């Protein structure tokens, strides 16, 4: 099995290999590349470059990528489990369980992340008692996160770091333990298939002793999450400074058994906790502290159950399988012999065959024995007897570790008395120590770790809080004015190209160049982070000068609430230009958030970064709120989609019908056939007139109205939606009104119809992708795209 590293969207292979040994056979199970310092450096530079874009993706977009990955993880569970059998000797059932648990973990993380984004905390004067101040506790990503995982849970403990890091907007450098590199490389393949942008996720391979320091000490690191050995973890903390760390290290988890314990339950839980997966778990029970009053009985029962444990290969689903390497097996026997020489009694086990060690149970362990304190990571369990609870707690807390602990007693008062005194991250009652449920915080104290893991905690540790303090200035509310907003498109190009639904980068660039060279004068980028780099590369290749075409960029206020200004700066940087023509704040997200985003955009305009600022998809109420707070309507951009509705008949009608007047829905009552024959701002005679003209041209009444608006000098080309799916812009352009038609239209009610045309006509980009959909033409076809551009241009000339 030869697998590869993954850097900047490409799989990396080379002659120098790192061999992954099969613990059962001692033979090579597979190889991965042994990367150099230069290759690691390239991975970090790629992650940094990708971060500048990835952090501005909407949270919904990042979730789409992650859900695709989760689906692939489910589909490939058998392949991953088979790799785990080969490289870490974990039984197939346990390996599959790990993958499925990880699928659930990521799904839960996504749900928690949505809560983070949509329900962040707001602190107002009811809490801090300062009038006029409101604090929005938002969060933002850290940058480049290093995720280093151990051999024993190569999928779960890596993705428990990677998934939350990517979701909150970080990019990732992932490194598996040597044993675990094969399953890690398969996971990297799935990230590639999921379509994550290049450089967002990178998987580096090589022996830790060779590249470990290069990774953790790199200047581009913004956060490290490490699970592994105590020595390495402490070394990382010493080598790094001024960056967040989460370290999950070793453990010497104890089970304190009092004389009030239910021994049937206690024995069952201790056997499971101490010997499953050969004890190779940081949360495994690694010592039993038992009241001497019941010690003989517990020792006897444990010994009986240990003798029943299945021992052998992972392929045959044994509980105890070969240990990860020969050194670990030898060290286990060494600890057993040290205890035996100092007077302990070996009740079970002690035989070793290469890396396979029979489960060991040792009684009468004393504090002078190494096994009382050292973590073996093997199927060996020491029993320490105590006379009173105070002695047990003292022995427990004397350990340099403090990950988890268990108390077995039927006396709740006794449990809490012990639990509050135990120096450990988590305490369990009548159950073996365990990492789950994953929704809970997971942490260790002392040499067991630093920082907290878990679903919510991972999202917190891989992002930082950013308080946004709002000074709520009260503007004097002006008397309502009947403001006329007339669309002024004197300097606006009348042909536009929307790029938002084209996914192939090469096709995007070719289409933009072709569009510009064929007369298109307006590029609508949809969202600032998408396609800008391609547009910046494309327009110099065309015959059009920058000052001769228009760039519209939309920013989702829902996702960029307080980063609007920076988003505009980044968009300009990507486009290799000095300004943007139009910024549309899109997707409303509530009064306060909209106001902040709007003010940020206006600041960009005042600083010369943007010509015009407008809003899109804001409700009437949200627009009125901006007016109330700022003293003006958001009408700096005269072609905005969300103009104030001034025809009361339409507004009242739509509200009665439950229609939300958002975005470009200002003309929706006219181009939706369902509304045409019902209540309208037009008189019945005017409706009959338009019906007659539409019948004459064998088209819809909506097309007649839109053609009339278009020929009057306005651009009203709505993107197809549920309400307008029956209308094709191609049909609209084919309508040729004659003088008689214009005469009839111009004679209509000026106070209703013509007033409406003048005050609510709007500019919308012509997105040829939508029309191709209506025609049933498959998108992404270069020939179709070019033919369609030519068709539109021919129609314009006519």
The b-or-e profile of 182-191 (16+ CB within 10 A means b, else e) is bbbbbbbbbb
| Contact criterion met (CB below 8 Å) for 633 and 626 | yes
Contacts of 407 (CB under 8 A, 6+ apart): 255, 256, 258, 415, 418, 419, 422, 427, 428, 429, 430
CA 771 from centre of chain: 32
- Could you say which of 24, 248, 375, 509 is catalytic? 248
| Contact criterion met (CB below 8 Å) for 415 and 462 | no
Q: Residue with structure tokens 């975005």?
A: 663
Alpha helix segments (H runs only) across 345-398: 389-397
| Contact criterion met (CB below 8 Å) for 92 and 315 | yes
User: 545 burial class (0-12, 13-18, 19+ CB within 10 angstroms)?
Assistant: exposed
CA 97 from centre of chain: 23
Helix (H) or strand (E) holding 7: strand 5-7
Active site residue 573: no
Q: Residue with structure tokens 């982070």?
A: 529
| Contact criterion met (CB below 8 Å) for 288 and 383 | yes
- Could you say which of 24, 87, 112, 282 is catalytic? 282
Tokens standing for 175?
């490194």
- Among the listed residues 557, 550, 535, the one whose alpha carbon sits nearest the alpha carbon of residue 610: 550
Integer Cα distance of 215 and 219 in angstroms? 9
Handedness of CA 20, 22, 28, 31 (dihedral sign): negative
Q: What DSSP designation does 667 have?
A: G
CA 505 from centre of chain: 22
| Contact criterion met (CB below 8 Å) for 792 and 733 | yes
Alpha helix segments (H runs only) across 262-410: 263-275, 292-306, 326-341, 389-397
Tokens standing for 285?
């029970």
**310 to 278, 287, 434, 644: CA distances (angstroms):** 11, 21, 21, 75
Helix (H, G, I), strand (E, B) or coil at 31: strand
Alpha helix segments (H runs only) across 350-441: 389-397, 412-419
| Contact criterion met (CB below 8 Å) for 375 and 252 | yes
Quickly count: other Cβ atoms within 10 Å of residue 23's Cβ.
26
Quickly count: other Cβ atoms within 10 Å of residue 123's Cβ.
15
- Among the listed residues 266, 260, 54, the one whose alpha carbon sits nearest the alpha carbon of residue 144: 54
| Contact criterion met (CB below 8 Å) for 348 and 360 | yes
Quickly count: other Cβ atoms within 10 Å of residue 14's Cβ.
12
Integer Cα distance of 546 and 535 in angstroms? 11
Helix (H, G, I), strand (E, B) or coil at 398: coil
| Contact criterion met (CB below 8 Å) for 380 and 339 | no
- Among the listed residues 180, 125, 182, the one whose alpha carbon sits nearest the alpha carbon of residue 150: 180
**711 to 288, 334, 686, 715, 798: CA distances (angstroms):** 87, 92, 19, 9, 13
Active site residue 654: no
Q: What DSSP designation does 750 have?
A: I
Active site residues: 248, 282
């Amino acid at each position: 099995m030869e697998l590869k590293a993954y850097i900047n969207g490409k799989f990396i292979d080379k002659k120098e290999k790192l061999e992954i040994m099969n613990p059962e056979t001692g033979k090579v199970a597979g190889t991965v590349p042994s990367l150099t310092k230069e290759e690691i450096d390239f991975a970090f530079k790629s992650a940094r470059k990708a971060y500048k874009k990835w952090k501005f993706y909407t949270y919904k977009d990042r979730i789409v990528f992650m859900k695709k990955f989760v689906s692939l993880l489910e589909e490939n569970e058998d392949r991953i489990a088979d790799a785990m059998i080969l490289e870490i000797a974990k039984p197939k059932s346990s390996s599959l369980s790990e993958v499925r648990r990880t699928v659930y973990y990521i799904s839960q993380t996504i749900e928690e992340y949505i809560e983070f984004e949509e329900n962040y905390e707001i602190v107002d004067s009811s809490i801090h008692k300062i009038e006029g101040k409101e604090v929005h506790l938002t969060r933002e990503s850290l940058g480049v996160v290093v995720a280093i995982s151990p051999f024993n849970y190569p999928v779960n403990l890596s993705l428990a770091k990677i998934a939350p890091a990517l979701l909150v907007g970080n990019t990732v450098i992932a490194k598996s333990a040597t044993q675990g590199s094969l399953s890690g490389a398969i996971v990297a393949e799935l990230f590639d298939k999921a379509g994550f942008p290049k450089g967002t996720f990178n998987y580096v391979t090589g022996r830790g002793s060779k590249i470990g320091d290069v990774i953790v000490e790199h200047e581009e690191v913004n956060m490290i999450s490490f699970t592994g050995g105590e020595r390495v973890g402490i070394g990382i903390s010493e080598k790094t400074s001024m960056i967040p760390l989460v370290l999950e290290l070793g453990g010497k988890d104890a089970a304190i058994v009092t004389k009030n314990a239910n021994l049937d339950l206690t024995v069952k839980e201790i056997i499971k906790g101490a010997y499953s997966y050969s004890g190779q778990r940081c949360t495994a029970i690694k010592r039993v502290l038992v009241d001497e009053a019941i010690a003989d009985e517990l020792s006897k029962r444990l010994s009986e159950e240990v003798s029943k444990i299945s021992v052998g290969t992972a392929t045959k689903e044994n509980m105890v399988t070969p240990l990860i390497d020969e050194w670990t097996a030898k060290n286990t026997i060494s600890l057993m012999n040290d205890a035996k020489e100092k007077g302990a009694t070996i009740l079970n086990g002690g035989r070793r065959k290469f890396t396979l060690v029979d489960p060991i149970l040792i009684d009468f362990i004393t504090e002078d024995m190494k096994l009382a304190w050292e973590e073996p990571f093997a199927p060996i369990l020491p029993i320490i007897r105590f006379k009173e609870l105070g002695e047990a707690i003292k022995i427990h807390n004397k350990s340099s570790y403090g990950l988890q602990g268990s108390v077995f007693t039927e006396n709740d008062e006794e449990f809490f008395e012990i639990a509050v005194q135990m120096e450990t991250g988590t305490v369990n009652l009548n159950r073996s120590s365990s990492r789950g449920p994953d929704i809970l915080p997971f942490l260790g104290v002392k040499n067991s770790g630093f920082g907290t893991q878990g679903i919510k905690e991972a999202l917190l540790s891989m992002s930082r809080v950013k308080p946004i303090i709002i000074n709520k200035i009260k503007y004097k509310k002006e008397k309502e004015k009947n403001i006329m907003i007339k669309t002024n498109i004197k300097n606006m190009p009348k042909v536009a190209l929307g790029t938002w639904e084209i996914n192939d980068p090469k096709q995007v660039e070719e289409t933009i160049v072709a569009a510009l060279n064929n007369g298109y004068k307006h590029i609508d980028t949809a969202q600032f982070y998408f396609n800008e780099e391609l547009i910046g590369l494309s327009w110099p290749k065309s015959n059009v000068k920058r000052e001769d075409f228009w760039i519209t960029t939309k920013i989702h206020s829902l996702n960029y609430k307080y980063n609007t200004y920076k988003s505009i700066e980044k968009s300009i940087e990507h486009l290799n230009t000095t300004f943007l023509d139009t910024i549309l704040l899109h997707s409303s997200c509530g009064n306060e958030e909209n106001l902040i985003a709007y003010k940020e955009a206006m600041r960009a305009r005042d600083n010369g970064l943007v010509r015009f600022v407008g809003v899109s998809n804001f409700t009437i109420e949200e627009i009125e709120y901006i007016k109330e707070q700022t003293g003006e309507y958001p009408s700096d951009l005269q072609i905005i989609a969300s103009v104030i509705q001034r025809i009361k008949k339409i507004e009242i009608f739509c509200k009665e019908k439950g229609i939300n007047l958002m975005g470009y829905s200002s003309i929706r009552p006219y181009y939706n056939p369902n509304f045409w024959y019902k209540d309208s701002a037009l008189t019945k005679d005017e409706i009959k007139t338009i019906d007659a003209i539409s019948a004459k041209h064998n088209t819809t009444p909506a097309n007649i109205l839109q053609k009339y608006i278009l020929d009057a000098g306005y651009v009203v080309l709505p993107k197809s939606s549920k309400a307008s799916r029956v209308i094709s812009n191609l049909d609209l352009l084919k309508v040729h009104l004659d003088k008689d038609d214009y005469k009839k239209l111009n004679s209509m009610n000026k106070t209703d119809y013509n007033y409406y045309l003048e005050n609510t006509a709007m500019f919308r980009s012509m997105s040829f992708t939508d029309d191709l959909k209506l025609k049933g033409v498959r998108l992404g076809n270069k020939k179709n795209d070019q033919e369609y551009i030519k068709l539109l241009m021919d129609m314009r000339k006519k």
